[in-house]
């Protein structure tokens, strides 16, 4: 696990959330799990490739997703519309994009895939079990859990 | 070409802009920012191939282009647009702001780079900058 990268992902996401969906987003606690903790209604997945590989999964309730998107759009949304999905994807993309730019600035080649948003109930990741750092971020609209898995290829 | 401030003092012909981003939210956000600028008309494309088709059809005065897109990604799309129109004015818009990525976009033909999230001030500055560049 590249804990140095994890810190950059968490800090960039917190900064971006504060800028875009304020008023405050804080990380209460970080924990290491054997696999991603993602059982809420809305998952946003971004793959990481390059000198290291892994993924970031943002996990949140439907209510939180709709409210966050409403804040970004400047108007309330009736539910999980395509525009809400796009807003949530863009929020994740901006956060991880900024983190990757900082990592690239340290001379590490790392890139990201376009985000994928999955919605449903009781979503569970059956992916290969990789050590995952879980960072809950508290926003004004509810908690967003970041699941970060990243390791060097060799 | 006249800059935005000069245009608002009398030019009747609107500027045209093509917004290229796979994200519907990002396109809406940029469209709203563009709409807040007087006398600029925006069209949209949701991917690289659509952007190339729309660019040929519309010949916009400038393009706002995302980098990370499924399929034909932004830098390659810029390369193809600039090959067909070396005077194309392309502003890259991305959360990926690493200098190598910016340099790659510029080498492909982009004239300016704005990091996401985009503000009106940054957008106006970028448009003024590319309008000041010559179009062949």
What chain A holds in terms of domains, given with CATH numbers, is 3-152 (3.40.1550.10)
> Rounded CA gap, B23 and A68, in Å?
16
Coil, strand or helix: which one is A87?
helix
Residues of chain A with pLDDT under 50: none
Is B31 a domain residue?
A: yes
> Would residue B116 count as lying in a domain?
yes
pLDDT at A98: 93
Model ipTM? Answer: 0.84
Rounded CA-CA distance A132/A34 in Å is 6
Q: Which residues of chain B have pLDDT under 50?
A: 136
Residue B136 covered by a domain = no
CB-closest option in A94, A100, A101 to B117? A94
Domain count, chain B: 1
Range of the structural domain that residue B15 is part of: 4-130
Per-residue model confidence (pLDDT) at position A30? 79
User: Does some domain include residue B81?
Assistant: yes
Q: What pLDDT was estimated at residue A123?
A: 66
Asked whether residue B115 is assigned to any structural domain, the reply reads: yes
Residue B135 lies in a domain: no
- Per DSSP, chain A holds a count of helices (H) and strands (E) of 3, 8
Cross-chain CB nearest to B68 (options A82, A87, A93) = A93
Residues B34 and B64: their CA atoms lie apart, in Å, by 10
Closest CA to B93 of B72, B111, B71, B107: B111
All residues of chain B having their beta carbon less than 8 Å from the beta carbon of residue A114 are 22, 68-70
Residue B3 has what pLDDT? 67
In this prediction, residue B68 carries a pLDDT of: 84
Q: Within 13 Å, how many C-alpha atoms sit on residue A109's CB side?
A: 3
Question: What is the model's pLDDT at position B5?
Answer: 64
What CATH number is given to the structural domain containing B119?
A: 3.40.50.2300
What's the pLDDT score for residue A153? Answer: 77
What pLDDT shows up at residue A14?
A: 93
Give the per-residue pLDDT at A27: 67
pLDDT at residue A25, as a whole number: 63
CB contact under 8 A, A100 and B96: yes
């Amino acid at each position: 696990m590249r804990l140095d990268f994890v810190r950059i992902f968490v800090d960039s996401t917190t900064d971006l959330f504060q800028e875009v969906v304020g008023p405050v987003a804080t990380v209460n606690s970080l924990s290491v799990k054997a696999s991603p903790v993602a059982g809420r209604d809305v998952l946003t997945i971004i793959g990481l490739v390059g000198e290291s590989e892994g993924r970031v999964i943002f996990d949140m309730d439907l209510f939180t997703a709709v409210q966050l998107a409403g804040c970004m759009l400047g108007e309330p949304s009736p539910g999980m519309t395509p525009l809400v999905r796009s807003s949530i994807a863009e929020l994740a993309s901006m956060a991880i994009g900024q983190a990757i730019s900082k990592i690239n600035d340290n001379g590490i080649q790392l890139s990201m895939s376009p985000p994928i948003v999955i919605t449903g109930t009781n979503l569970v990741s059956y992916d290969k079990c990789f050590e995952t750092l879980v960072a809950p971020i508290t926003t004004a609209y509810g908690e967003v859990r970041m699941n970060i898995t990243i390791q060097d290829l060799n | 070409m006249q800059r935005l401030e000069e245009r608002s003092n009398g030019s009747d012909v609107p500027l045209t802009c093509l917004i290229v981003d796979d994200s519907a939210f990002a396109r809406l956000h940029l469209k709203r920012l563009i709409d807040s600028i007087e006398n600029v008309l925006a069209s949209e494309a949701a991917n690289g191939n659509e952007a190339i088709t729309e660019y040929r059809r519309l010949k916009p005065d400038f393009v706002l282009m995302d980098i990370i897109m499924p399929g034909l990604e932004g830098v390659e799309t810029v390369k193809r647009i600039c090959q067909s129109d070396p005077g194309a004015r392309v502003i890259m818009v991305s959360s990926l702001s690493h200098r190598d990525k910016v340099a790659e976009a510029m080498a492909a033909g982009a004239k300016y780079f704005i990091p996401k999230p985009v503000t009106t001030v940054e957008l106006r500055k970028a448009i003024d900058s590319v309008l000041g560049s010559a179009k062949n």
